[in-house]
Amino acid sequence: MRQMTPGELKQHLTEGRGNPLLLDVREPWEARICRIEGARLLPMRHIPSALSELNPRRETVLICHHGIRSRQVALFLEHQGFTNVINLEGGLAAWSREVDPAMATY
- Which residues are tagged catalytic? 64
The alpha carbon of residue 28 and the mean position of all alpha carbons in its chain are separated, in whole angstroms, by 14
HSE-CB at 101 with a 13 A cutoff on CA atoms is 1
Full DSSP string of 39-97: PEE--GGGTGGGGGGS-TTS-EEEE-SSSHHHHHHHHHHHHTT---EEEETTHHHHHHH
